[in-house]
């Protein structure tokens, strides 16, 4: 079975069809009402089901390049005006003349000429015509077209070559797909339009016109004539090195991968997009399998194979049209460049201590300098503009003044700047740190009441940043404000439904225990116990396993993982057990870890991502697995390391090793492919931090994680710091943002912690404060 069939098989296994609906990875299609179903013929009902399945496969399989968890529907609507203006300015084209337009009316009532071609009638200004004087009805002229189309392809800005691609019949079009981050779209536009127009190669190039939608592998598409492909690839091979920093690795499903972030396919030629065409064939094969009573994955896979074969499409080369020869490859020069880069990264990972400590500190300082330059300052308070952090809740990007929380607000930025001040003594960093935390304290009321007890979203996180920042910067007033905010948090009637580390009781427990130690106030233990009791009350204890429902999606399966799942709750309960000695907290924590082990996916060495998955578990079902601190192996590795430390149970050590190895493989793959953002929450920096924790906890002889973490740091310096490029963050668009868990402040803290491991991480709540003397060294 080839690589394409393996990906398709995963989609087949994740799809279940009934007479009127289907599920994909447990997500059901939109049902028709009984009244509408009665009015539809069997063929119309089948067509509707096929249409839904095709579109779902397009969004969740074709666009991301492999089967992914539930994605937000593309919000095609108004484009971002400023972004489109930037794209237009980058477009080096001048427009083109098209022959064959017949004059119907030399001048209409508004002084324009009326022309027609192939049944299309156009009213044009005289200056758009050639010739433009003494025009006669029936005369054939040339018509001038602009360098761009703003609404020809919904959701995309399209550049047109100075020689139009579609100026003659009987041509075959080839599509080149670019998996861009939004910052790379203007660079791609300028680079390709300049080079292709200079070479007089006809083309069309479209890129997404809304930055927050750059989460799909076909964010940019270049259309060229198949006869020009060799000439185009000669240019692309020379230009690829300049474009590579802006490309993520994956390519759309069914396409041929020519290089990281660059795929290709032949256009089906039937007015249907390539992705929709192939997803339609896949959907038809699945529907036929259901109608023929085929139940096993192998049987359904054979039905899909047969449906593709009916159209002459080979599953070992689904990017080709029927009977086509595979002539699509990247120039050898570029391949060698990629191999050399990979060899350098792998060689670096094998070297011990190869990354100079001063380079680590220097990178953190450069990031901090950029933050200071980007800040808005007023009355001693500092703030920033950026993505507001809704990405972790699955929402679209929202660029505005940052909030106050630790996750992606000013308190998190202030915490990073305070840590760096303590290392460097730079008084401007101290001023900025105090100003950022002061802004967070002033804006704390803007946090929704339901989130206020949370560590990353709420007041306890701001209090932690204020307390630690105050001690680092030797500002007693700020420490006192932390105490006052904590008292307000205690009086506040928190939402009793929120349980997790991010915004709920688990986060409150760990924050209170940490702050109690930091502020030398043992009374906080009693408050932590209150939140611990809440956590126990909210738990589902089916079969002796502990798990927690999402209060906003009660039908969703209970999540695994650190940020919103059982691992984070277990972490908080074990901290409470260690502080109180109460066995029931230990029992609940071990029940939560046991729940996750029941969900473990052995063939992936990972834990399933149940976000959006509803209904009871079914035999043979498949689920997506991700590998980040928030969801998947990395965060679970931290929870198991902690459980092993607290209990001494060797079972948790083995589970931690499994999770660490999966995390390491994921980091190595991202480095090899040149993909992934650098955020702490769900990016390379966070995963690399987990590898460092693993080695520190278990020893180099058991798990060697630091070399790979250093390789990730080295790659970031080479790709972004040295080139002066923006660091890719954890926002939906992959763009830059200033905050701690999603953006630059967290990336800076990652480099700072590699420079000085004594500096606490923000990824292990409660582990940040082990010894107050560390603050005052």
The DSSP letter of residue 318 is: T
Residue found under tokens 């989609």:
11
Using DSSP bridges, classify how beta strands 256-259 and 262-266 pair: parallel, antiparallel or unpaired. Answer: antiparallel
Given a cut of 50, whether residue 342 has pLDDT beyond it is: no
- For residues 585-607, b (16+ Cβ closer than 10 Å) or e, as one string? bbebbbbbbbbbeebbeeebbbb
H runs (alpha helix) in 407-458: 410-424, 427-442
Q: Which of 505-514, 654-663, 768-777: highest mean pLDDT? A: 654-663
* Burial zone of 520 (CB within 10 Å; 0-12 exposed, 13-18 middle, 19+ buried): exposed
Query: What is the pLDDT averaged over residues 474-483?
Result: 94
The Cα–Cα gap between 468 and 482 comes to 9
- Please give the backbone phi and psi of residue 149, each rounded to the nearest 5 degrees, phi first: -120, 125
Q: Cα 459 to chain center, whole Å? A: 27
How far apart CA 625 and CA 267 sit, in angstroms, is 32
pLDDT attached to residue 692? 94
Mean pLDDT of 244-267: 90
Give the start-end residues of each E strand in 67-172.
96-105, 113-117, 120-124, 129-130, 140-145, 148-149, 156-160
Q: Taken in order 27, 30, 31, 33, is the CA torsion positive or negative?
A: positive
Other residues' Cβ atoms within 10 Å of the Cβ of residue 544:
10
Find residue 180's DSSP bridge partners.
247
Helices in 629-771 by DSSP H: which ranges?
633-647, 650-673, 684-698, 706-716, 744-755
pLDDT 10s digits, 591-641: 999 999 999 999 899 999 998 888 777 776 777 899 999 999 999 999 999
Distance CA 527, CA 533 (A): 10
What are the CB-based long-range contacts (under 8 Å, 24+) for 718-725?
719/245, 719/674, 720/245, 720/678, 721/363, 721/366, 723/245, 725/183, 725/245
Using the 8-state DSSP alphabet, how is residue 559 labeled?
Answer: P
Structure tokens at 709: 């973490």
Q: 612 versus 695: which is more confidently predicted?
A: 695
pLDDT on residue 771: 34
Average pLDDT value for the chain: 86
Residues 575-589 pLDDT 10s: 999 999 999 999 999
Question: What's residue 766's pLDDT?
Answer: 52
DSSP-derived 3-state class of residue 395: coil
Confidence of residue 757 (pLDDT cuts 50, 70, 90): confident
Q: 410 near 436, Cβ under 8 Å?
A: yes
The pLDDT-based confidence of 393 (bands split at 50, 70, 90) is very low
Q: What residues contact 453, with CB distance under 8 A and at least 6 apart?
A: 459, 460, 489, 492, 494, 495, 498, 503, 504, 505, 507, 508, 531
CA 15 to chain centre: 24
Q: Is the model's pLDDT at 173 over the cut of 90?
A: yes
Q: 205 versus 552: which is more confidently predicted?
A: 205
| Residue 561 pLDDT level (bands cut at 50, 70, 90) | very high
Apex 556 CA angle, 550 and 560, nearest 5: 70
SS3 state of residue 174: strand
| Consecutive H or E run containing 266 | strand 262-266
pLDDT over 60 at 774, yes or no? no
Report residue 163 CA to chain centroid gap: 37
Alpha carbon distance 47, 469 (integer Å): 61
Element (DSSP H or E) covering residue 585: helix 583-599
Give the pLDDT of residue 391: 40
303-331 per-position pLDDT tens digit: 999 999 999 999 989 999 999 999 998 76
Predicted confidence (pLDDT) at residue 712 exceeds the cutoff of 50: yes
More confident residue, 393 or 418: 418
Q: Give 266 or 131, the one with higher predicted confidence.
A: 266
Q: Please, which pLDDT band fits residue 236 given cuts at 50, 70 and 90?
A: very high
Highest average pLDDT, of 15-29, 127-141, 179-193, comes from: 179-193
What per-residue confidence (pLDDT) applies to 139? 82
Q: What is the mean pLDDT of residues 531-538?
A: 94
Among 246-255, 446-455, 488-497, 657-666, top mean pLDDT goes to: 657-666
Q: How confident is the model at residue 528 (pLDDT cuts 50, 70, 90)?
A: very high
Q: Once rounded to an integer, what is the mean pLDDT over residues 751-769?
A: 80
Is 681 labelled as part of a ligand binding site?
Answer: yes
Strand, helix or coil for residue 50:
helix
Whether omega for the bond prior to residue 194 falls within 30 degrees of 0, making it cis, is no
Most confident listed range (237-251, 444-458, 490-504, 744-758): 744-758
- Residue listed under structure tokens 């230990």: 586
pLDDT higher than 70, residue 72:
no
pLDDT of residue 31: 76
Give the pLDDT score at 387: 72
Helices (H) and strands (E) in the chain, counts: 24, 19
The answer to whether 277 is annotated as binding is no
Residue 148's φ and ψ, nearest 5 degrees, are -150, 155
Q: What is the pLDDT of residue 394?
A: 40
Percent of the chain with pLDDT over 70: 89
Q: For residue 517, what is the enclosing H or E element?
A: helix 505-518
- On whether the CB atoms of residues 220 and 247 are closer than 8 A, the answer is no
Which residues pair with residue 130 across a beta bridge?
Answer: 142
Non-local (6+) Cβ contacts of 654 within 8 A are none
Query: Does residue 347 have a pLDDT over 90?
Result: no
Q: At 301, is the secondary structure helix, strand, or coil?
A: helix
Residue 252 has pLDDT above 50, yes or no: yes
Q: 724 by DSSP, 3-state: which?
A: coil
Query: Any idea what the Cα angle at residue 261 is, between residues 259 and 264, rounded to 5°?
Result: 70
The pLDDT of residue 452:
87
What is the structure's pLDDT at 344? 43
The pair of three-digit structure tokens given for residue 577, joined into one six-digit string? 């057990």
Going from N- to C-terminal start, the domains of the chain cover 3-66+275-311, 80-95+158-249, 96-145, 626-768
The pLDDT of residue 772: 36
- The rounded distance, in Å, linking the Cα atoms of 469 and 472 is 5
630 is in an annotated binding site: yes
Q: Give the integer Cα–Cα distance in Å for 394 and 563.
A: 14
**pLDDT per residue as tens digits for the range 80-91:** 788 899 999 999
Token pair recorded at residue 447: 């946090």
- Signed CA dihedral, 723, 729, 733, 739: sign only: negative
Q: What tens digit of pLDDT does each residue of 3-54 get? A: 888 889 989 998 999 878 888 887 888 777 777 777 788 888 888 889 999 9
Residue 504 has pLDDT above 50, yes or no: yes
3-state class (DSSP) for residue 586: helix
Q: What is the distance between the alpha carbons of residues 250 and 268, in angstroms, rounded to a whole number?
A: 22
Backbone angles phi, psi at 739, to 5 degrees: -70, 180
Cβ atoms of residues 454 and 447 within 8 Å: no
Confidence of residue 450 (pLDDT cuts 50, 70, 90): confident
Query: Which pLDDT value is given to residue 372?
Result: 96
* H-helix or E-strand spanning residue 177: strand 173-178
Q: Calculate the CA dihedral of residues 399, 403, 408, 409 and round it to 10 degrees.
A: 130
Number of neighbours of residue 198 by Cβ within 10 angstroms: 11
**What value, to the nearest 5°, has the Cα angle with vertex 195 and ends 194 and 197?**
70
d(CA 470, CA 746): 19
Taking residues 500-515, what's their average pLDDT? 93
Is the confidence at residue 733, as pLDDT, over 50?
yes
* Cα–Cα distance for residue pair 14/623, rounded to 1 Å: 7
């Amino acid at each position: 079975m080839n690589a394409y069939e393996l990906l398709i098989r995963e989609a087949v296994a994740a799809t279940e069809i009934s007479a009127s609906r289907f599920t994909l990875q447990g997500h059901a299609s939109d049902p028709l009402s009984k009244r509408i179903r009665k009015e539809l013929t069997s063929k119309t009902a089948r067509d509707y089901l096929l249409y839904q399945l095709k579109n779902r496969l397009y969004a969740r399989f074709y666009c991301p390049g492999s089967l992914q968890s539930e994605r937000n529907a593309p919000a095609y609507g108004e484009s971002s005006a400023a972004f489109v203006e930037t794209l237009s300015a980058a477009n080096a084209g001048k427009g083109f003349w098209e022959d064959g337009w017949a004059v119907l009316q030399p001048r209409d009532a508004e002084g324009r000429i009326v022309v027609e071609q192939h049944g299309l009638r156009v009213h044009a200004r005289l200056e758009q015509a050639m010739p433009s004087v003494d025009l006669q009805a029936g005369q054939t002229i040339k018509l001038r077209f602009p360098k761009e189309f703003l609404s020809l392809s919904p959701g995309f800005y399209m550049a047109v070559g100075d020689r139009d691609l579609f100026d003659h019949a009987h041509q075959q079009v080839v599509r080149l797909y670019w998996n861009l981050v939004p910052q790379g779209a203007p660079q791609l536009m300028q680079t390709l339009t300049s080079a292709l127009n200079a070479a007089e190669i006809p083309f069309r190039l479209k890129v997404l016109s809304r930055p927050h939608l750059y989460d799909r592998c076909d964010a940019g598409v270049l259309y060229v004539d198949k006869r020009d492909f060799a000439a185009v690839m000669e240019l692309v091979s020379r230009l690829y090195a300049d474009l590579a920093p802006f490309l993520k690795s994956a390519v759309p499903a069914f396409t041929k991968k020519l290089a990281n972030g660059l795929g290709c396919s032949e256009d089906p030629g039937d007015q249907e997009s390539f992705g929709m065409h192939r997803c339609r064939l896949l959907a038809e094969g699945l529907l036929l399998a259901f109608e023929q009573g085929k139940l096993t994955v192998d049987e359904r896979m054979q039905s899909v194979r047969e449906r593709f074969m009916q159209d002459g499409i080979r599953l070992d080369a689904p990017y080709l049209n029927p009977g086509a020869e595979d002539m699509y490859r990247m120039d050898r020069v570029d391949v060698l460049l990629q191999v050399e880069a990979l060899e350098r990264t792998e060689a670096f990972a094998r070297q011990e201590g190869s990354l100079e400590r001063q380079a680590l500190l220097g990178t953190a300082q450069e990031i901090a300098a950029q933050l200071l330059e980007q800040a808005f300052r007023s009355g001693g308070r500092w703030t920033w503009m950026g993505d507001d952090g809704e990405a972790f809740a699955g929402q679209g990007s929202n660029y505005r003044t940052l909030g106050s929380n630790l996750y992606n607000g000013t308190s998190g930025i202030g915490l990073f700047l305070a840590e760096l001040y303590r290392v460097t003594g730079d008084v401007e960093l101290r001023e900025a740190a105090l100003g950022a935390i002061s802004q967070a304290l002033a804006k704390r009321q803007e946090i929704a009441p339901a989130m206020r007890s949370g560590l990353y979203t709420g007041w306890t996180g701001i209090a932690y940043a204020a307390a630690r920042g105050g001690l680092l910067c030797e500002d007693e007033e700020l420490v006192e404000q932390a105490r006052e905010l904590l008292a307000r948090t205690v009086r506040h009637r928190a939402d009793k439904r929120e349980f997790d580390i991010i915004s709920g009781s688990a986060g409150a427990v760990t924050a209170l225990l940490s702050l109690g130690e930091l502020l030398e106030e043992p009374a906080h233990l009693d408050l932590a116990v209150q939140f611990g009791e809440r956590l126990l009350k909210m738990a589902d204890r089916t079969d002796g396993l502990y798990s927690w429902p999402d209060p906003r999606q009660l039908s969703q399966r209970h999540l695994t993982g650190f940020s919103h799942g059982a691992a984070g709750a277990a972490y908080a309960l074990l901290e409470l057990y260690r502080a109180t000695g109460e066995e029931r907290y230990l029992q609940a924590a071990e029940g939560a870890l046991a729940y996750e082990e029941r969900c473990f996916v052995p063939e992936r060495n990972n834990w399933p991502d149940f976000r959006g998955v509803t209904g009871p578990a079914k035999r043979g079902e498949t689920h997506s697995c991700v590998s980040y601190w928030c969801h998947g192996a990395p965060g679970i590795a931290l929870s198991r390391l902690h459980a092993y430390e607290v209990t001494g149970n060797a079972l948790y050590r083995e589970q931690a090793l499994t999770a660490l190895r999966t995390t390491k493989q994921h980091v190595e793959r991202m480095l090899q492919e040149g993909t992934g953002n650098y955020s702490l929450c769900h990016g390379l920096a966070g995963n690399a931090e987990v590898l460092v924790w693993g080695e520190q906890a278990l020893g180099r002889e058991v798990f060697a994680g630091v070399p790979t973490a250093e390789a990730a740091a080295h790659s970031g310096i080479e790709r972004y710091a040295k080139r002066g490029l923006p660091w890719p963050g954890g926002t939906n668009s992959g763009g830059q943002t200033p905050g701690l868990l999603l953006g630059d402040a967290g990336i800076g803290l990652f480099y700072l912690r590699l420079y000085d491991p004594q500096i606490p991480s923000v990824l292990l709540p409660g582990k940040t404060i082990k010894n107050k003397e560390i603050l005052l060294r």
